[in-house]
């Protein structure tokens, strides 16, 4: 698997096969091998996964790909998410089994349904490269975003690599992905929600379809500082302030004040209507 993995990575193909470096740290071997074997034979899903990893790595046992896959499958059939993800990767990589992308997607989906970030990332890759499913950048983005939200550093990286910056700024896919979130958060932001103001700033900074970039993001972070979410807003404001000179900072303050005036004016109208 390692040789083929390196070829695929060099060619820029299914990066999911970095599963080797990502997946194995999930198996912790605080339990001694005899106890792992005993628990695995008794049907413990985690022990079955750990034993599969032992055979895969040759850790304390003779390396045996067939036995490894045997125990991974047992664990996966008991809904152990990491094992399901590994089976998916094996099917996608034809590692010990015949390559079957559609079957791989099934296992990735099962793992993803349990909130496994890595499986979300892998589904993003399958959709990006059209493996077992029609190529669909929009769906790939959706899976990358959910994987990133669940903590996958690989999904975060996949979102921010250069080609995706281009998608976010110029492609209709980005418009579809961001416009609903932007509309929802902007409405709440103008309602005075500092957390929504921060989300608006983040979306604008990412690019989306809005072409406003860091300056408008900085303005919104300054607005959020006014409305209470100071720690996070100050952190981001300081980060972005380094990009601007004194004149731009002054203009940003003016823009901030305009937005605050609009928010307060709308709030006053709402209160007047209630009275």
Q: Which residues of the chain have pLDDT under 50?
A: 1-30, 162-175, 208-211
Q: For residues 101 and 16, state if they share a domain.
A: yes
User: Is 180 found in the same domain as 138?
Assistant: no
Q: Are residues 11 and 140 in the same domain?
A: yes
User: How far apart are the C-alpha atoms of 197 and 208, rounded to whole Å?
Assistant: 16
Domain contains 124: yes
The number of C-alpha atoms within 13 Å of 40 and in the hemisphere containing its C-beta is 25
Q: Look at residue 2 in the predicted model and tell me its pLDDT.
A: 26
Residue 182 lies in a domain: yes
Residues in CB range of 236: below 8 A, 6 or more apart? 198, 201, 217, 221
Asked whether residue 125 falls in the same domain as residue 208, the answer is: no
Residue 190 near residue 203 (C-beta atoms within 8 A): no
- pLDDT tens per residue, range 83-124: 999 999 999 988 788 999 999 999 999 999 999 999 999 999
Residues 134 and 45 in one domain: yes
| 215 found inside a domain | yes
Q: What is the Cα–Cα distance from 125 to 172, expressed in whole angstroms? A: 19
Cα 152 from Cα 147, distance rounded (Å)? 5
What 3-state class would DSSP assign to 264? helix
pLDDT at 31: 58
- The sign of the dihedral angle between the CA atoms of 196, 202, 208, 214 is positive
Distance CA 114, CA 78 (A): 12
Q: Tell me, what's the pLDDT at 177?
A: 55
In a shared domain, residues 20 and 137:
yes
Tally the domains of the chain.
Answer: 2
Instruction: Indicate whether 166 belongs to any domain.
Output: no
CATH number of residue 53's parent domain: 1.25.40.10
Residue pair 62/97 in contact by the 8 Å Cβ criterion:
no
CB atoms within 10 A of CB 208: 19
- Please indicate, yes or no, if residue 72 is contained in any of the structural domains: yes
Q: Are residues 117 and 218 in the same domain?
A: no
**Dihedral, CA of residue 103, residue 104, residue 110 and residue 115, to nearest 10:** -170
The pLDDT value recorded for residue 211 is 42
For residues 204 and 118, state if they share a domain: no
**What pLDDT does 16 receive?**
38
Q: What are phi and psi of 145, to 5 degrees?
A: -65, -45
Contact 201, 236 (CB under 8 A): yes
For residue 266, what are the contacts with CB-CB under 8 A and spacing of at least 6? 190, 191
Residues 254 and 196 in one domain: yes
165 domain-assigned: no
Q: Is 233 found in the same domain as 100?
A: no
Report the alpha-carbon distance of residue 120 to residue 164 in Å, rounded.
17
Of 103, 132, 160, which residue constitutes the final position of a domain? 160
Query: What would the two tokens of residue 99 be?
Result: 């390559």
Residue 160: how many other CB atoms lie within 10 Å: 13
Please tell me the distance from the alpha carbon of residue 50 to that of residue 136, in angstroms, as a whole number: 34
Residue ending a domain, choose from 160, 190, 213: 160
Residues 91 and 184 in one domain: no
Alpha helices in 94-206 (DSSP H): 101-112, 117-129, 137-149, 153-160, 162-170, 172-189, 194-206
**Residue that finishes a domain, picked among 134, 160, 186:** 160
Q: What is the pLDDT of residue 179?
A: 67
| Residue at 167 is within a domain | no
Cα distances (angstroms) measured from residue 136 to each of 131, 132, 220, 229, 243:
10, 11, 32, 37, 35
Cβ–Cβ under 8 Å, residues 55 and 68: yes
Same domain (yes/no): 195, 114: no
What is the span of the domain harbouring residue 42?
2-160
Sign of CA dihedral 218, 223, 225, 231: negative
Report yes or no on 204 lying in a domain: yes
């Amino acid at each position: 698997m390692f040789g083929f993995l390196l070829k695929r990575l060099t060619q820029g193909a299914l990066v999911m096969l970095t599963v080797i470096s990502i997946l194995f740290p999930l198996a912790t071997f605080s339990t001694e091998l005899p106890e792992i074997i005993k628990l695995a034979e008794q049907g413990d899903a985690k022990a079955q996964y750990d034993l599969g990893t032992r055979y895969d790595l040759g850790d304390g046992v003779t390396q045996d790909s067939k036995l490894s896959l045997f125990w991974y499958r047992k664990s996966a059939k008991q809904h152990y998410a990491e094992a399901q993800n590994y089976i998916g990767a094996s099917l996608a990589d034809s590692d010990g089994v015949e390559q079957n992308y559609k079957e791989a997607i099934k296992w990735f989906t099962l793992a993803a349904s349990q909130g496994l970030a890595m499986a979300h990332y892998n589904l993003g890759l399958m959709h990006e490269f059209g493996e077992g499913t029609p190529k669909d950048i929009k769906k790939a983005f959706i899976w990358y975003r959910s994987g990133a939200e669940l903590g996958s550093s690989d999904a975060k990286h996949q979102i921010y690599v250069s080609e995706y910056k281009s998608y976010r700024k110029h492609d209709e896919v980005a418009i579809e992905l961001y416009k609903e979130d932007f509309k929802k958060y902007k409405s709440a932001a103008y309602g005075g929600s500092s957390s929504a103001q921060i989300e608006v700033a983040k979306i604008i900074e990412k690019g989306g379809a809005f072409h406003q970039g860091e300056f408008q993001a900085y303005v919104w972070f300054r607005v959020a500082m006014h409305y209470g979410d100071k720690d996070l807003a100050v952190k981001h404001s300081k980060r972005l302030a380094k990009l601007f000179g004194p004149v731009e900072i002054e203009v940003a303050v003016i823009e901030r004040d305009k937005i605050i005036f609009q928010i307060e004016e709308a709030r006053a109208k709402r209160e007047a209507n209630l009275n």
